Every structure is written in C-alpha cells, then in structure tokens.
Amino acid sequence: MLSTINIIDLAVVKNLMLELKPGMSVLTGETGAGKSILLTALGLALGDRADSGFIRPGSRRAEISLEFDLSDAPKAKEWLQEHELDDEQHCIIRRIINQDGRSKAWINNRPATLQSLQALGRLLVEIHGQHAHLTLLQHDEQRRLLDNFASNQPLVAQLNQVFKDWKQTQTELERLTQNNKDQAEREEFLRYQLQELQQLDLEQFDFQALSEEHSKLSNLGLILTQGQQQLDLLYDNDQQSLNQSLAHSVTVLSDLSQYAPELDEITALLEEAQIQISEASHQLRRFLESQELDPGRLADLDAQISLIMDLSRKHHCQAEQLPQIARQIEQELDLLSHSDERIEQLSKQCENFSQQYQKLAQQLSQRRLQQGKILSRRISAMIQELGMPQGEFIIQIETDLSSLPKPNGLDNIEFLISANPGLPPKPLAKVASGGELSRISLAIQVTTSSDKTVPTMIFDEVDSGIGGGIAEIVGHKMRQLADNRQVLCVTHLPQVAAQAHQHLHVRKNTEAAVTSSSVQTLSQEQRIEELARMLGGVRITQNTRNHAAEMLQHTGED
C-alpha cells in the first residue's frame, strides 16, 4: 500500500507531505485547486515522461518521493528481490526533475531507469483515469479487460510465442519458395560469378605475395642498376671501395699499435667490419646475379592483379576477401541445390506451428467464452445497480478457426449493451450516452478489479456524469473495493466522499501573487463542512450541514 507521498516544488505544490491510510481515501476540493497534481506526481514517480514544465516557477528542480508498505504486495517484493533492490517490507521510490528536462530516479536509494519504475509501478498502483470510458470503446482494450479478468495472460503469451515462431518460419518459406521460382536464373548467375573467381587459383591465393612479387619485377631494372653501384662502392672498386679503405686503415693502425698498444682493440673492430662488408658484398653479388628480367612474368602478374582489382570492385570487398566471397557463393549454390529439401522441412514446421497455434487458440476461445459469460452477468448486475435497471451487458465473441494465425488469438471480441428491454444489443459506441458510458465504464472497472492483486487503486473522477442515488451506490462500491486493498478516489460527489475512511481536501492558496496548493487531512467536523460545501454550493445552511452529518453516519463512522 502507498503510505507516504512527499512532493517538493512540483507545479503549484511547494512542499507537501501526505500520509495515506489503508481503506478508501477521497481527494476533494474546488475545481482548479490542484487535485490532479497528486496523480501527476504519482505518474512521474512511477515512470511517466517528464520535462522542466513540471517544475514550480522560481525553483531549480522538482522532487517526488513515494513510500510503500509491501506487506500486501508479494509480487512487488518478488520483483525487487529479483532485481536486488529489496529492502525488507518497505519500498521508497524517488525521482528528481531538473531544469534541463533531465531526471534521475532511485528505488530504495539505488539508481533506477524509467523502465524499472514502470515495471515496478504496475505491481504497486493501478490508475483509472477520468477518460477511461473512451479507451473502453477500443476492441484491443475490450480484449485486454476480458483476458485480465479470466487470467488468460500466460495462455496468451504462449500463443503469441507460437505465432511468432510460425510467422518467422512462414516468412522464410515464402522467401525460399519465391527464390525457387527464379532458381535456374539465380544458379546461372552464381555459377558465372564463381567461375570468374576460380580464375584466381583460390587454393593458392595470396594477394600480398602477388603484390610483393609484382612490385619487385616492376622495379627490377632499378634494383640491378643501383645494386651494382652499391657493390662497386662496397667492394669491387679497387681504388675507392669501402673494403680497400678499411684495409688501408687496418694496416696503418697495426703499424702504430707497436707504439700505442691500446690501438689493438680499434684495429680488431675495423678488421671485423671489413669481414662483414666482404660477406655483405658477396651476398649482394649473388642476389644480383640471380635476378633476371622476365617481361612475360611481369605481364602475367599485371593481368592477375588487374583481374583481382576488377573482381574486388564488382563484389564491393577488399582483395583479400575474394576467397571468402567464393565460399559464400558455393554455399548459396549448395542451398539452392537443396532448396526443395529445405522447403519441405519448413512446410512441415509451419504445419506443426499452425497446429500448436490452433490448439492454443481453441483453449483460449473456450476460456474467453466461459469467463465472458461470468463477466457479462457481473457487469449487467452492476450497471443495473448504477441506474440502468433494464440494462444488459454482453461480451460477444466470434471465432474464426479457419483464419491464419494472428496475434492474441482468433477471436473478435466486442462489448455490447442493451439499455432497454426488447432492443437488440449494440456496440457501446452506438448506443451509450456520455453518462451511460461513464456508468458502464465504472461498472467494468469495479467488476474487473475485484480479482486483481495490485494493492493500490486510484480512480480519477471516473464518477463524472453520475449523481443522486446512483452516486451513493458508486460510493458503496468504492468502499467495498477497499475491503482488501487501498483505494484513492478523486471526486466531486459528496455521496462518494462520504464513504471514505480518510478524507483529503485540496486548497489553493495565493500569497504575494504566487499560487500554491496544499492538502489537509480532514477531521470529522471538517468533513461535515466539506461535504456541506459539495452539497450546498455557495450558501451553506445548517440543514445542509445536518444532511452532510447524516451521510457520514450512514457509513458506520462516529
């Protein structure tokens, strides 16, 4: 249950700390006093999108904190444990909205995403907005309400997974079938591409080695000319070679070493250098003698590299990737050659998924038919209590077992209503007035809520368009709902407000041209005054107060 709401600098609220009790609480006040800001704060704390427009003028940020008692919320406790966010029997959700529109959120003092807030919020609070009757006209919403009442969610999830598997298999089957029609043309094209690639001797393909050999042959004239020049410089030139210069230096230093023995080490180093130059020169000579200009080989390499570059551009890849492209073409050719086998395999899989789907769809249809009758009777009884004594509510379910699989089953579900005897039932949108639709919506919400496990339910002016004795019945129904859960109701009806265990009053205050809203928990005497205001309007008489007191006495309170 929601035990505490703390709001700071949100819209018209400067600072508000509100403690809620179990049972039924009502929120009343003049139009425009700011009743909706509590619901806005709840929505933001539970993951609604936020922007800087929510921040109170003159403030840097807005902050909302909610504290929940989890003793009546086992599913929420389980979710918190799974996500390692549990904190014994309590849960604190906090969200801050900054001037730049960004926000931060925490669950039990640990950072949380909006998705986490939304997932947890669905297990803690269920909000019924004042425009719920409009979404009630949508077929998807009607199906969802019936499935929720019938606890069909696991079966629907299983069916939708089978549908997804069938759809994927069917899509692949259609693609292969279409490809099979064009198979001959495709195979011819692939074989042509493969033949082109096989010109490259793919088994021995090494583009880097080819490039290096081509570069060497292309520059062999330069290599031979400058190589011979360096050989002359190092060794072959008897007058100016480096080898001759070193030999001369060795001779001179050797003669001098008899006077300066420390020159022996230098002489040894020069002799070693002379040996290295001699060895390098011999290797260079052998290399130059082994090289031979081969215009034929160079032309062959030119042709190979030109072909490789053409094929790389054609296949939009690097030259090194051409063998991989060839393997992919071979694989596709292999698949095409075995496409008949794959088509047969996919056809069997499609048939298998279709049979699974049909079986699940029939089970789902049977549950919907069975539970639809129960829900129809309950809602019919409820709308008859709510001022439509001859009203009959019917959930029409039409099943097309010959249809291809589709999401959520093969049933077309529509809510019908017959407001008067002798008239055939028609869709809600065609027969219900605004007031009737509000009552039908309220009847559906109250009826389908009786089996829910969400510990806190919030109703935002869902009783609009209702008055008189019907309003009192609505109040009784709300109070009954609060027997095993917390109910918070925003209302303008004194008949509903009188049924509450806790009465919260929203008041607008203006100081120094700044408007703010505050919320007060009313005492018994204050409740009488507020109910009298709601009953009597501008001028409140003692009779009005007596009527208000009598309404409170009928709830069984002192």
Check residue 513 and give its pLDDT. Answer: 52
How many C-beta atoms surround the C-beta of residue 535 within 10 A? 19
- Where is 67: in which H helix or E strand? strand 61-69
pTM: 0.61
Q: What percent of the chain has pLDDT over 70?
A: 93
**Cβ burial, residue 366 (10 Å; 0-12/13-18/19+):** exposed
Give the CA-trace dihedral at 329, 334, 339, 342, to 10 degrees: -110
Distance from C-alpha of 339 to C-alpha of 55, rounded to nearest angstrom: 63
Task: List b or e across 148-157, with b for residues whose CB sees 16 or more CB atoms inside 10 angstroms.
Answer: ebbebeebbe
Q: How many Å apart are CA 418 and CA 407, to the nearest integer? A: 30
Residue 150 falls in which region: left (phi positive, over 0), alpha (psi -120 to 50) or beta: alpha
pLDDT value, residue 37: 79
Nearest C-alpha neighbor of 508 from the set 181, 34, 49:
34
On the 0-12 / 13-18 / 19+ scale of CB atoms within 10 A, 55 is buried
- Low pLDDT (below 50) residues in the chain: 556-558
Q: What is the pLDDT of residue 433?
A: 64
Chain Cα centroid distance, residue 351: 32
Kind and range of the H or E element at 308? helix 295-315
Domain boundary assignment for the chain: 186-337
Q: Any residues with CB less than 8 A from the CB of 18 and at least 6 apart, and which?
A: 4, 5, 6, 7, 38, 504, 519, 521
Query: According to the model, what pLDDT value does residue 556 have?
Result: 47
Beta pairing partners, 67:
4, 92
* CA distance between the termini of the chain: 25
Amino acid found at 361: A
Judge whether 103 and 96 are in contact, CB under 8 Å. Answer: yes
Task: Check if the beta carbon of residue 111 is closer than 8 Å to that of residue 104.
Answer: yes
